[in-house]
Structure 1
Amino acid sequence: MNDKTLLFAPGGVNASTNLAQTDPKSMPKRRQPRHPGIKDTIKGKRNQYVQVRNSDERPVITAPLKKHTLKVIALGGFGEYGKNIIAYEYEDDIIVVDCGIMFPEEEMLGIDFVIPDTRYLEENAHKIKGWLFTHGHEDHIGATPYIIPKKFPDVQMFASQLTAGLIKVKYEEFNHRPPKISVVEGGEKIKLGVFEIEFVQMAHSIPDTLALAIRTPEGMILHVTDWKIDHTPIFGQKTNLAHLARLGQEGVKMLLSDSSNAERSGYTISESIIIKTFDNIFKDGRGRLIITMFASAINRIQQIIEMSIKYRRKIAVSGFSMQKNIEMALKLGYLKSPEGLFIDIHKAQGLSDEKITILATGSQGEEFSALSRMASGEHKQIRIRQNDTVVISASQIPGNEQAISNTINGLFKQGANVIYGRHLDIHASGHASREELKLLIQITNPEYFMPIHGEYRHLKIHARLAEELGIKPHNTFVVDNGEIIEFEKGIGQVIKTKVQSGYVLVDGLGVGDVGNIVLRDRQALAKEGMFVVILTIDKKTGKIITSPDIISRGFIYMRDQEELVHLARKEVVGLFIKHNQRYPMQFDHIKRVVRDKLGDFLFHKTQRRPMIIPVIIEV
């Protein structure tokens, strides 16, 4: 094993420290309630319709792919926030970049996460020379434990040290054997098949973020993931503009760049700016300080450590993912904390309020997260009190607004003072704003441009920005998931051929076993309820023995609707007698008739159509 390879194993370089432990059972999976709207397919971002992994109609490649061309394959993260994954293919060589999750959309009832559809990669697994990760945020590494150990167990992975550590934590959560990851850093080069990859140090809201300069037979592709320009970063990790400029002088065939803040003018504020805000919050805090952020926000956690030391507060952690990430970051030296600063969450109750800081998960209002349980009064260790100050130090991910609002309202009802939103500098975006995006385009001077990471409008606005700076309109590619940009003899174009790129839904322990039919049933139950009709039939005569039993859930309250229930029973008996005479003892046919005709009857009476479940019992 070379000295740049980390083999994660118990007691190895990344073994956990003795930071106060939190029971993993206190952090169940997210089960966020969602609103109706699903039909035969799931309505995706910007009103597109996307396929579900186990849909009855499986999307297929519409034409064979050419040999001797470079293909940039958009597998996820286009027109949406999350599940970022892109593949680069040349003849028999493929490299893959990132493997992220996405929060479920409103229509996806009961779904925990959405992960990319990797069927194209599975069918071409023998070509994959390496899987590279740009940084450690969930939308870039979150799907790894669901996909790589099962589908690509032998693939070679490459990541910076912190990103590798965060992937290792995720593998531990799933009880996978430790992953073997080659650790890389800015300025380093590796060779994977025909591809040569040079890593570039970038500033972001998490340390160890890397851009990729991918040299191919068709020219250099510069893949710049989430990034910003920060001249005063917490960890001293700046975007290496000189390195990017050198690559621009060498010649960039196509630039891929983060579009998240393409609508925001000016420059993104430095992470160091918000430390002044936190200083004021700590100075003015009269009670407990409860601070929530993304569990991987290592920069922000270091600020909280420094403020807690300054104002003589101990730190307790509530939330399994944050607990494990902090342990890993302390072990690797990305967090620095004196011995005894962190205490067990149970011991927090024994300290006076002004002596405790609580770090909690739940910045996106996730159901069952630590903060959500505090807001609802269901947290076992922490009860919100009048003098508590809660700080939500994270931006809202689109689609989570209502969940976050519910959490904030619950905290106010419990008596807390809640600090959130953009009215104070309590969160610094990790994404470049328009002036930074312009600078990157100018210093790299690409021939082609492909905006990545964002909803459709962000991609489109970013493309227009590139065109304003001189890139030809036909050389800017705003693509959708599944589309392919092909380069042949130096000329790039979006081709008609597409690959599979749907959603794979994670529901509890099930991955990909919930499809559009199941979601449609959940939608019907959530919207209209169900109406169960139980018929007891004499096995010998085929006649009804007793009046049908009816069970209603989420449709009507039966005690208040006795007349409707009586009429429904009468309707069912009539349907059974009529069709049993024509099709004696053919109960499958009779159940279909009851389902359809009773549905029409109930809709006529109530203007609602519940899910009808006919049950026939023979005795």
Structure 2
Amino acid sequence: MTDIKLVALGGVRESGKNMYAIEVDDQIFVADFGLKYPDNELLGIDIVIPDLTYLEENADRIAGIFLSHGHADAIGALPYFLKEHPVPVFGSELTIALAKLVMGSDKQAKKFKDFHVINEDSVIDFGNVTVSFFRTTHSIPGSLGIDFETKVGQIVYTGDFKFDQSAKPMYQTDLARLVHIGEGKVLALLSDSANAESPYVNASEREIYENIREIFKYQTGRIIVAGVASNIERVQQVLDAASATDRRVVLTGRDVEKIVRTAIDLKYIRLPKPDLLATTKELKSLKPEETVILETGRMGEPLKSLARMATSKHRLIHIHEGDLVFIVTNTSHAMETMVAKTRDLIYRAGGEVKAISDDTHASGHANKNDLQLMINLLHPKFLVPVQGEYRLLAAHQEIAEETGMPANHIFITGPGDILSYEKGMLRNSGHVDAGNTMIDGIGVGDIGNIVLRDRKMLAEDGIFIAVVTIDRKKRKIVAKPKIQSRGFVYMKTSKDLLKESGDMVAKSVQKNLDKKEFDWSTLKQAVRDDLSHYLFDQTKRRPVILPVIMEVNQNSAKRQ
């Protein structure tokens, strides 16, 4: 009897961080290994990756990591696992090239060499499981769906996909292969849900290119294009439109430079003209009507870079009168407030803003019709919607039920939920740890809820510092408390509040000194508690309170 388990370690009930473990007997096959960018609540956090504990504990059982495409939500977490657990990694030519770029950013991880380039014709035999692949249409070449064939049926992972009948050859979906897979027994389908809620038909990439070219044609000033560096198809469209309108393109930032150069070397990006790309040094000599600036921002975040440009804080580009900022990427609902604020800053600087979503519905993900077509091609017995927040997974469930799938054959899971195949049915059978691991600088997982809570309090109510010097032997305060505040109150206009706070700190410290037994932690906590109650009564705010208690021996001080 074949033992099968499906575990979503990320990518469900959230946007990004795709990672799915398919367990067959004693082997684990991992589909994608992604990260996500933090929302505004995660103050100071650079990126978020899945909790890797389960995979680390079972690293000796991992047959391989199989990558569907080269975006950060599918490859970004690789360095944090592979430097300690070197398991084989499989992906298309471009996907592996971009994975190597990601690995190269970490000194330990860049030593990893166990990469395997596969394509849609590759078949890998792991004994009880045969892994094969099929071409899908997405915004980056080399996107592949993955088919894990077991003795009791196939488990198919779509990766990011959509159907576009006018797609260029390197982006085309292999429909014949999907029909062939569907003629077999598809036990479970793990399918992209990122665009399941959209009622709109996706515009074809040809239509999107025509829209970009029209905007370039009638713009007389500089064009600053904000996009995602790894959206190779969009980058190609920008290059083609620039060439068609006699403009040159300046790449700003190391990320976009590396990715575009890699894609050019592998012939996934074609330069219409040899001198189309201009260096940042040439930027000053280019006329506004000859200039396109492609800005992707650090770690794929163009909005922050645009805000710096609009406030003259960017190292190269300052937005001014006559500039057009053209946003060619779709932003998530969580970023709508930031998009609105960034637009306002650009208009204040004298620029104008257009977004590709203003005129066309551009998405690299399947809409309702696409999702239903995938189900009808593959005829899965069970469906596991993945890659999306809860409302998107629920929308995908409704879409599947319209095709005739029974509701009890569709599973909306949470991170870490285990689905087991037993007696012909898929059922929930437990849970593994699968939370978030937050990356801040070089720190991995050392930022928890308590640190985030303190950061939020600091951001909202500031910090209140009380410094007291005591002589513990004589049980008295040597120097009156000194009060400092940052981000809480304006000190020059709050003298009464600060004086009362100082008196309260003195009373609290002296009260603890008068006790028979002295304890440092008890003393500091008493100061925190007294100050916290008083400051909240006076201001209805709760700053972070930092008591600093220093000890001095007066006799020693006099001799010195």
Q: Decide whether the 8 Å contact of 1:580 with 1:586 is kept in 2.
A: no
> Are residue 212 (structure 1) and residue 146 (structure 2) matched?
yes
Match of 1:568 among 501, 519, 528: 501
Amino acid at match of 1:339: P
Map of 2:482 onto structure 1: 549
Match of 1:226 among 141, 149, 160: 160
- What is the CA–CA distance in structure 2 between the aligned matches of 1:299 and 1:421, rounded to whole Å? 14
- Structure 1 547/603 Cα, relative in aligned 2: closer, same or farther at 3 Å? same
Aligned CA RMSD, in angstroms, stands at 1.9
Which has the higher relative contact order, 1 or 2, with Cα contacts under 8 A spaced 6 or more apart? Answer: 1
Match of 1:412 among 347, 357, 361: 347
Map of 2:38 onto structure 1: 104
> Are residue 171 (structure 1) and residue 106 (structure 2) matched?
no
Q: Decide whether the 8 Å contact of 1:293 with 1:363 is kept in 2.
A: no
- What is the CA–CA distance in structure 1 between the aligned matches of 2:534 and 2:200, rounded to whole Å? 60
| Superposed counterparts of 1:114-129, under 5 Å | 114-129=48-63
- Structure 1 266/357 Cα, relative in aligned 2: closer, same or farther at 3 Å? closer
Match of 1:397 among 329, 332, 335: 332
Note the alpha carbon deviations across 1:554-608, whole angstroms, 9 max, x for none. Answer: 1111111111111111111112222211245433321111111221111112222
- Structure 1 265/586 Cα, relative in aligned 2: closer, same or farther at 3 Å? closer
Q: How far 1:89 moved relative to its partner? A: 0.8
- Structure 1 324/282 Cα, relative in aligned 2: closer, same or farther at 3 Å? same
- Structure 1 583/330 Cα, relative in aligned 2: closer, same or farther at 3 Å? farther
| Superposed counterparts of 1:513-592, under 5 Å | 513-583=446-516, 585-592=518-525
- Structure 1 448/368 Cα, relative in aligned 2: closer, same or farther at 3 Å? closer
- What is the CA–CA distance in structure 2 between the aligned matches of 1:128 and 1:498, rounded to whole Å? 19
Match of 1:237 among 156, 168, 171: 171
Note the alpha carbon deviations across 1:333-391, whole angstroms, 9 max, x for none. Answer: 00111322212112111111111211111499948954332122112222222121110
- Structure 1 189/582 Cα, relative in aligned 2: closer, same or farther at 3 Å? same
- What is the CA–CA distance in structure 2 between the aligned matches of 1:375 and 1:148, rounded to whole Å? 39
Map of 2:358 onto structure 1: 423
Secondary structure at the counterpart of residue 441 of structure 1: helix
Secondary structure at the counterpart of residue 308 of structure 2: helix
Map of 2:546 onto structure 1: 613
> Are residue 510 (structure 1) and residue 471 (structure 2) matched?
no
Map of 1:346 onto structure 2: 281
| Superposed counterparts of 1:145-160, under 5 Å | 145-150=79-84, 152=85, 154-160=86-92
- What is the CA–CA distance in structure 2 between the aligned matches of 1:363 and 1:514, rounded to whole Å? 21
Q: How far 1:455 moved relative to its partner? A: 0.9
- What is the CA–CA distance in structure 1 between the aligned matches of 2:337 and 2:219, rounded to whole Å? 28
> Are residue 441 (structure 1) and residue 375 (structure 2) matched?
yes
Q: Decide whether the 8 Å contact of 1:365 with 1:403 is kept in 2.
A: no
- What is the CA–CA distance in structure 2 between the aligned matches of 1:265 and 1:604, rounded to whole Å? 51
Note the alpha carbon deviations across 1:454-478, whole angstroms, 9 max, x for none. Answer: 1111111211221221211111111
Map of 1:15 onto structure 2: none
TM-score by length of 1: 0.86
| Superposed counterparts of 1:133-532, under 5 Å | 133-150=67-84, 152=85, 154-175=86-107, 176-177=110-111, 179-265=113-199, 267-337=201-271, 338-362=273-297, 366=301, 369-420=304-355, 422-425=357-360, 428-495=362-429, 497-532=430-465
- Structure 1 339/367 Cα, relative in aligned 2: closer, same or farther at 3 Å? closer
Structure 1: stretches of 5+ with no match in the other structure:
1-66
Q: Decide whether the 8 Å contact of 1:450 with 1:477 is kept in 2.
A: yes
TM-score by length of 2: 0.94
Q: Decide whether the 8 Å contact of 1:207 with 1:235 is kept in 2.
A: no
Secondary structure at the counterpart of residue 95 of structure 1: strand
Secondary structure at the counterpart of residue 478 of structure 2: coil
- What is the CA–CA distance in structure 1 between the aligned matches of 2:478 and 2:72, rounded to whole Å? 58
- Structure 1 331/477 Cα, relative in aligned 2: closer, same or farther at 3 Å? same
Q: Decide whether the 8 Å contact of 1:269 with 1:428 is kept in 2.
A: yes
Amino acid at match of 2:104: E
- Structure 1 342/618 Cα, relative in aligned 2: closer, same or farther at 3 Å? same
Q: How far 1:105 moved relative to its partner? A: 3.0
Note the alpha carbon deviations across 1:304-357, whole angstroms, 9 max, x for none. Answer: 221222222111101211111001001100011132221211211111111121
- What is the CA–CA distance in structure 1 between the aligned matches of 2:409 and 2:167, rounded to whole Å? 34
Q: How far 1:145 moved relative to its partner? A: 2.1
- What is the CA–CA distance in structure 1 between the aligned matches of 2:524 and 2:235, rounded to whole Å? 59
- What is the CA–CA distance in structure 1 between the aligned matches of 2:227 and 2:126, rounded to whole Å? 36
Higher helix proportion: 2
Amino acid at match of 2:138: H
- What is the CA–CA distance in structure 2 between the aligned matches of 1:482 and 1:106, rounded to whole Å? 24
- What is the CA–CA distance in structure 1 between the aligned matches of 2:268 and 2:300, rounded to whole Å? 27
- What is the CA–CA distance in structure 1 between the aligned matches of 2:513 and 2:377, rounded to whole Å? 79
Which of structure 1's runs of 4+ aligned residues deviate more than 6 A?
none
Q: Decide whether the 8 Å contact of 1:76 with 1:86 is kept in 2.
A: yes
- What is the CA–CA distance in structure 1 between the aligned matches of 2:239 and 2:547, rounded to whole Å? 60
- What is the CA–CA distance in structure 1 between the aligned matches of 2:440 and 2:142, rounded to whole Å? 31
Secondary structure at the counterpart of residue 104 of structure 2: helix
Q: How far 1:68 moved relative to its partner? A: 4.7
Map of 2:558 onto structure 1: none
Q: How far 1:421 moved relative to its partner? A: 5.5
Q: Decide whether the 8 Å contact of 2:2 with 2:151 is kept in 1.
A: no
Amino acid at match of 2:408: H
- What is the CA–CA distance in structure 2 between the aligned matches of 1:220 and 1:357, rounded to whole Å? 47
Q: How many residue pairs were aligned?
A: 549
Secondary structure at the counterpart of residue 479 of structure 2: coil
Secondary structure at the counterpart of residue 90 of structure 2: strand
Q: Decide whether the 8 Å contact of 1:319 with 1:369 is kept in 2.
A: no
- What is the CA–CA distance in structure 2 between the aligned matches of 1:303 and 1:105, rounded to whole Å? 29
Q: How far 1:146 moved relative to its partner? A: 2.5
Note the alpha carbon deviations across 1:46-100, whole angstroms, 9 max, x for none. Answer: xxxxxxxxxxxxxxxxxxxxx9520011110100001000001122111101111
Amino acid at match of 1:391: F
Q: Decide whether the 8 Å contact of 2:324 with 2:352 is kept in 1.
A: yes
Q: Decide whether the 8 Å contact of 1:292 with 1:363 is kept in 2.
A: no
Q: Decide whether the 8 Å contact of 2:32 with 2:66 is kept in 1.
A: yes
- Structure 1 252/368 Cα, relative in aligned 2: closer, same or farther at 3 Å? closer
